[in-house]
Amino acid sequence: MNLLSIVILAIGLAADCFAVSVCKGMTTHQLPWMRVILMALLFGLFQGGMPLLTFFLGIGFAQYITPIDHWIAFVLLAFIGGKMIVESFKGEAEKSSQSFSWLTILTLAFATSIDALAMGIIFVPYPHQIAMAVGIIAATSFVASLAGSSIGFFFGKKFKLNVELIGGIILIGMGTKILIEHLFA
């Protein structure tokens, strides 16, 4: 597998991190940089770690998770999206502290990395490239998450929409898209 293929794969895997980070950035009135960096680190670690996990566990593991990975992603994204929609109707003081909670960040990092779990199989024939691939995937997801949070924060402040509601709908839409793509592929 060449470098360009790995970079394209990394960008594709980072797209979910970017979208989720935009949603989270839009939902806060003051960007908590330590939490944003933590989220970006976790997204990078999970996106890079999942292919590495599958690579080491091998094809046997992938055959068990691949049939249900889309359901896991759907349930987690729909849950977080639903929670955001409910929070969109709460007062500002109630919801601002929960937007970047540890549990939410960890759940989103896991949910967005489930598709990366299957990618480890791609590298089984190329064991000499797994370290480089994991590094590129992790770094791309880290940068995408930082950029997404910043962009979301900027647009959330600029347009004054009910971004928590919009973000929740987007996350549910992402989960539904993942589910439909896998069910009808």
In whole angstroms, what is the distance from residue 136 CA to residue 142 CA? 10
Judge residue 94's burial from the number of C-beta atoms within 10 Å of its C-beta, 0-12 exposed, 13-18 middle, 19 or more buried.
exposed
The number of domains in the chain is: 1
Task: Decide if pLDDT at 181 tops 70.
Answer: yes
The gap from C-alpha 16 to its chain's centroid, in whole angstroms, comes to: 5
Question: Per-residue confidence at 141, pLDDT binned at 50, 70, 90?
Answer: very high
pLDDT band at 133 (very low <50, low <70, confident <90, very high): very high
How many CA atoms lie within 13 Å of 177's alpha carbon, on the beta-carbon side? Answer: 9
Residue 7's domain comprises: 3-183
Q: How confident is the model at residue 59, as a pLDDT?
A: 65
Dump pLDDT digits (tens) for 88-129.
Answer: 787 655 545 456 688 889 999 998 898 888 777 788 788 899
Task: Please give the share of the chain, as a percent, with pLDDT higher than 70.
Answer: 92
Q: What is the pLDDT of residues 11-30, one digit of tens each?
A: 988 988 998 898 888 877 78
Is the full-model pTM beyond 0.85?
no
